[in-house]
Amino acid sequence: MRRSQAGSHDALFFNQGQCCCAGSRVFVEEKCYDEFVAKSVAKAQQRIVGNPFDSNTQQGPQVANNVRAGTVWVNCYDVFDAAAPFGGFKQSGMGRELGEYGLQQYTEVKTVTIKL
């Protein structure tokens, strides 16, 4: 029971539950269902949710600091703003689109000095 409950907890909360393959569906035998659910709820309630700047936070915005990705959505998905840069890391993308960073690809710095 303990190993099954711990494994299902890890499967659900892996990557803070923001994983496309989160193990959020669990089949439990009826005779131990109530015990399994009670232990699962107790373990979930022990997770530290909150301040994104607190290194003890286990669930929430703090995950964004540890993910090497150009875009991290927390409590939302597929939200864009033309002023916010968008792009990937490593082989997921070169440079950024949108925002001031996106314009840098299309511009070149030039100094022009005019004597008045």
Question: Domain boundaries in the chain?
Answer: 2-67, 82-116
> What's the DSSP call for residue 6?
H
| pLDDT attached to residue 31 | 93
pLDDT score, position 35: 93
For range 85-100, the mean pLDDT: 74
| pLDDT, the chain, mean | 76
Is the whole model's pTM more than 0.85, yes or no? Answer: no
Tokens of 77: 């998905």
Separation of CA 20 from chain center = 11
| Confidence grade of residue 15 (pLDDT, cut at 50, 70, 90) | low
The three-state (H, E, C) secondary structure of 32-86, written as one string: HHHHHHHHHHHHHHCCCECCCCCCCCCECHHHHHHCCCCCCCCCCCCCCCCCCCE
Q: What CA–CA distance (Å, rounded) separates 87 from 56?
A: 29
Q: Which two tokens stand for residue 16?
A: 């803070």
> With bands split at pLDDT 50, 70 and 90, how would you rate the model's confidence at 77?
low
- Give the per-residue pLDDT at 3: 84
